[in-house]
Structure 1
Amino acid sequence: MGEKLFLLLLLLITVSSSLFQFGISDTSRKSGDGNEEWGYVQVRPKAHMFWWLYRSPFRVKDASKPWPTILWLQGGPGGSGTGFGNFLEIGPLDSNLKPRTSTWLRKADLLFVDNPVGTGYSFVESLGQFAKSDWDAADDMTTLLTKLSNNTINLNNTPFYIFAESYGGKFAVTLALSLLRSIRAGHLKLNLQGVALGDSWISPEDFTFSWGPLLHDLSRIGSIAHQISNQLASEISDQIKKGMYENATLLWSSFENFILAKSNRVDFYNFMLDLDLDPVISTTKSLESNSINSVRLKGRKSSFFGYKNYKPGGEGNLEALMNGPIKQKLKIIPPDVTWGGQSDKVLEFFTAEFMKPRIKEVDELLAQGVNVTIYNGQVDLICSTKGAEAWINKLKWNGLKSFLNTQRTPLFCGKEKGTKGFTRSHQNLNFYWILGAGHFVPVDQPCVTLNMVGAITQSPGS
């Protein structure tokens, strides 16, 4: 009897401790100077999303134009915006905690969110609370932004822009549509001004069709591999058309491994390089099964976008940084929550969602008058410019023909010599070709990218 009582007490203590630890609903903190604010929002029972806002020290006072706010959405799915986008790409500090001269704070305030739940510092208390689709993620993000705007930080008076990278582009377009519905219903006050899709996974079919021809033209694969690549892309396309999205994801994984083998390990983030020689990707961790970032999916391996090994913007160990000094600084991260600890589960739950296109959602945004910008790095393979141009041609938007007939304008940057890119705009659709950049455009070409951000947001920042 005494042993049973002891076990019961132990169980009660454990449950109480767990409830205390995960009893975070909506809480936030500020830095001493007020330039940073962060916190958790409970978007659903047992589902907690982490956000981090930076107010720009470069804000122009008494400017004729209002100062914008940018929401950054990372890809993966499962890549952490508060980690990768913040410390490795566009935030105020790099992964060595040294100031970044090209921070996007020069043009806007920055809001990072670990999206979907289970990503970064965001967490769920049970498996049933993971998001399973882009629309699930959009619903959660809409809840978060509604609570933030209404209760925590004032987003009502700022021009609000969504910038996304990689799979984050799919999150961005579904979120934008969800926000528009909520705004029109009177549930949310937000001045949504535009969506920017950076090297975004909007049409998996078009991207996979681009790999074989592109790599063959670059002499990276031979004619036989080119032919097989086209066959594999057709098989993926067939599965997508049949709605067999999970099968398409597994075929995509096999296709990527085929490309790696036949190209002698081309870097999917920069086709001018070998994967092992890419200075942007960390080689401190082993790469399983010849893939960029392997995760197990029902007994199969898939490579998804390799954020675990991705390490631009400094040589610091991001995982150690986020689970050490940053976690200590933030003070509100539950002790048992490890940064990125649930990211593999995020990927698993998106297996059947991963290959779904979102071209129709882009069309809907354009039809509703939302400014849509697409920007792409010249040497990206995974989300190639060739593939992006292909899916743009599938838009039903009535301004498409005029857009395609509009001349491109060359881009330059300060005192730097040479053409840095091209741009084309018509009505509310804009496209930027960024030369010399791979998948991670802000890292590879920070100067012209920062100028692009200023032009998109009409920032009064210098």
Structure 2
Amino acid sequence: MHINTSNCLLILLSTFHLSCKMRNFSFAIFLITTITCIALPHFHGRLAMATCTQDGSERWGYVQVRPGAHMFWWHYKSPYRVHDPKKPWPIILWLQGGPGGSGVGIGNFGEVGPLDRNLNPRNFTWLRKADLLFVDNPVGTGYSFVEEEKLLVKTDEEAAKDLTTLLIKLFNRNKSLQRSPLYIVAESYGGKYAVTLGLSALKEIKAGRLKLKLGGIALGNSWMSPVDFVVSWAPLLKDFSRIDNSGLKTSTRLVEDIKEQIANGQMKEATKTWGELEMVIMNSSNYIDFYNIMRDAGSPPVSMTTNELSRKTTVNSYSRNLDSLRVLPGLVEDLKPLMNGVVKEKLKIPKNVNWAEQGDLVFEYFSGDFMTPRINEVDQLLDAGVQVTIYNGQLDLICSTKGAEAWVEKLKWKGLKTFLDMDRTPAYCGDDMETKAFRKSYKNLHFYWILKAGHFVPVDQPCISLDMVGNITRSPAR
């Protein structure tokens, strides 16, 4: 790619000056880091392997995980890093759901990164506890792209193979990264990526082909056992007075169809019926928000104004069976201008790559694997001694706590009975002493019940989420 450095500098400097006049200093700092990197090489005919800020606080780039398949990553080095020889500073690899949701956009600017969608500092950024590594996974998602459609992946295992290749190319040549334990933290469908990646990474570590230490895996509101979640939807909503007996009856019939289709190996058909079930739930409940059962679809989060998102837009998105809305309504609707504007310019993304919160083709390609459970993979990780944490927002429907508890009870792990028999302990955050969560741990299995939170726990309960991440990563942060 050819870059006119002089023109880029003039544009960035003028925008920086305007940002300072408007007193948006965090935005100005965001831009100035780009200026420090503008002279780094971008090789003609191919993408640069990595670009970094002058102070080394950020690195980003593309990895060609297969010929013609390019995965984008963005690594933030924490300014809160504590040097403790007994507790090495951790790295969190964030995996977004979907399949096809952009971690570089949604997870970063929408949930846990250093800046929010307005490029203002986030008070509860997870950088306070760890370095952050965001990827757009699988290829075809966000800034990641393929040169031919046939290079898109169709299964969790294929996605894990690409992610493992990414880790090999990033960690094997960087001794600084190798010193930090890697924690894979996933959200929604990302949980299925996380456990398949975890097993793939362990195999490559054992073979000496991957040089990193796997610290643990955290599954946040994760789509680990689709059938357990869909079974929970209608009864849960009936108890909350959001559907009546008619809605319950129709939903139950569709759930039975899904069970039969999965049993017969008709996975694409099961995915199609899942979409029909969601529409029945929407219509029967008068458009409940699948990501927070205390709201209607289109209702903005508490932190947003009511005119930031129209109900019509959200309902139209749901009418496409949620294929294009694997993310919280209102959370990322306004990320497109940012991600295709100043962020794209800073990162020097190819001009023909346009960011979207959801890769529709990616979701379509995963339709045969979407309803596949990954409980066995969790068992394998637990048996291998990997620290596994499950956390769930109390108000989520799509990946309900009731469904999460159901699939956990199906684990064959030898410590399960003791875990299930244990009492939970409350967790607090801040000075008000209000119960924010409950937690339970036995050996290497941990579960957090996060109160007053929906599908996107870091958004709804940022304080307790940050504390939880500190516990998960054993962060030496003070």
What's the CA shift for 1:387? 0.3
What's the CA shift for 1:79? 0.6
* 1:192 aligned onto 2:192: no
Mapping of residues 48-87 of structure 1, within 5 Å: 48-62=70-84, 64-87=86-109
**Long gaps (5+) in structure 1:** 1-19, 295-300
Cα contact 2:300–2:330 (8 A) shared by 1: no
Q: Distance in 1 between matches of 2:422 and 2:324?
A: 33
Letter of the 2:171 partner, please give it.
S
Range with greater deviation from structure 2 (272-281 or 421-430): 272-281
Cα contact 2:101–2:142 (8 A) shared by 1: yes
Q: Distance in 2 between matches of 1:285 and 1:308?
A: 15
Distance 1:132 1:400, change over 3 A: same
Q: Distance in 2 between matches of 1:302 and 1:153?
A: 45
The equivalent position to 2:386 in structure 1, one of 342, 345, 370, is 370
Show the counterpart of 1:321: 338
**Long gaps (5+) in structure 2:** 1-41
Q: Distance in 2 between matches of 1:214 and 1:308?
A: 21
* 1:139 aligned onto 2:156: no
What's the CA shift for 1:345? 1.0
What's the CA shift for 1:305? 7.0
Show the counterpart of 2:21: none
1:287-332 CA-partner distances (Å, limit 9, x unpaired):
47x46456xxxxxx4314724664439xx8210001100011112x
SS at match of 1:271: coil
Q: Distance in 2 between matches of 1:209 and 1:349?
A: 25
Show the counterpart of 1:297: none
Cα contact 1:257–1:291 (8 A) shared by 2: no
Show the counterpart of 1:283: 309
Letter of the 1:320 partner, please give it.
P
Show the counterpart of 1:245: 267
Q: Distance in 2 between matches of 1:37 and 1:415?
A: 37
Show the counterpart of 1:15: none
Show the counterpart of 2:464: 448
What's the CA shift for 1:388? 0.2
Show the counterpart of 1:257: 279
Q: Distance in 1 between matches of 2:329 and 2:208?
A: 40
What's the CA shift for 1:444? 0.2
The equivalent position to 2:423 in structure 1, one of 407, 430, 455, is 407
SS at match of 2:185: strand
Q: Percent identity?
A: 57
Distance 1:103 1:428, change over 3 A: same
Range with greater deviation from structure 2 (206-215 or 61-70): 61-70
Show the counterpart of 2:362: 346
Show the counterpart of 2:375: 359
Show the counterpart of 1:119: 141
Bigger share in strand: 1
**TM-score where L is the length of structure 1:** 0.90
1:29-48 CA-partner distances (Å, limit 9, x unpaired):
11122100000000000000
* Structural RMSD (CA): 2.0
Distance 1:396 1:266, change over 3 A: same
Q: Distance in 2 between matches of 1:26 and 1:236?
A: 45
Aligned residues between the structures: 433
Cα contact 1:210–1:384 (8 A) shared by 2: yes
The equivalent position to 1:380 in structure 2, one of 359, 379, 396, is 396
The equivalent position to 1:437 in structure 2, one of 436, 448, 453, is 453
What's the CA shift for 1:276? 2.3
Distance 1:308 1:373, change over 3 A: closer
Range with greater deviation from structure 2 (218-227 or 446-455): 218-227
* 1:38 aligned onto 2:87: no
1:359-388 CA-partner distances (Å, limit 9, x unpaired):
111111111111110000000000000000
What's the CA shift for 1:241? 1.4
SS at match of 1:155: helix
What's the CA shift for 1:284? 4.9
What's the CA shift for 1:279? 2.3
**TM-score where L is the length of structure 2:** 0.87
The equivalent position to 1:129 in structure 2, one of 151, 155, 158, is 151
Cα contact 1:377–1:437 (8 A) shared by 2: yes
Letter of the 2:301 partner, please give it.
P
What's the CA shift for 1:235? 1.1
Distance 1:304 1:386, change over 3 A: farther
What's the CA shift for 1:88? 0.6
What's the CA shift for 1:65? 1.1
Mapping of residues 143-158 of structure 1, within 5 Å: 143-151=165-173, 154-158=176-180
Distance 1:187 1:338, change over 3 A: same
* 1:101 aligned onto 2:123: yes
1:334-359 CA-partner distances (Å, limit 9, x unpaired):
11111139811111111111111111
* 1:306 aligned onto 2:325: yes
